[in-house]
Amino acid sequence: MKANNHPENECVLIDISDRKQYLKVLEKLRKLTHKIIIVQIDGPIKNDPIVNTAYSLLHLEKKEIVNKWFGTIAEGDRGAVKYTFNTIRNRREFFGFLSSLDSFWDGIETISDKYDFNARFDDIAFLDEQERLLFYSTTHENIFCIRKEL
């Protein structure tokens, strides 16, 4: 079963303003996630530690240029890169890596900007085994949405 045409409607906005909230969300997602989608909104960035870690631990199912993804429709030909990773192998290790970060967002800049990774940790989504949306972020706008029943 695939997710409906507007899976964002099944999510509610949440606040992730501190590390405790961030880790609580990650723990919920770790148990249910089967796919992770990462979108680099400004095009591919070689030194992105989150994408690079996903490449080393997870299985890349698809890489594509997009102008629409969860929570966002970009105008024009922006050249955003969408990576879809399967978490069947090394899910625990990847979530361990995410847990080592302070948050998706520190209130001023993305976590990768804060640590000067020369990359932007742009938008991320987590899907369950039926490919239903569990969580998505529009990180640079400080928007975080989680599935209602979580």
Is residue 86 within 8 Å of residue 58, measured between CB atoms? yes
The whole-number pLDDT of residue 3 equals 38
How high is the pLDDT of residue 112?
44
Kindly report, residue by residue over 23-41, the tens digit of the pLDDT.
999 999 999 999 999 988 7
Return the pLDDT at 96: 94
Residue with tokens 């991320």: 124
Q: How far apart are the first and last CA of the chain?
A: 19
**Residues of the chain falling short of pLDDT 50:** 1-4, 106-120
Q: Which residues pair with 36 in a beta bridge?
A: 85, 126
SS3 (DSSP) at 38: strand
pLDDT at position 2, please?
38
The residue length of the chain stands at 150
For residue 19, CA distances in Å to 23, 37, 101, 141, 148 come to 6, 22, 9, 18, 21
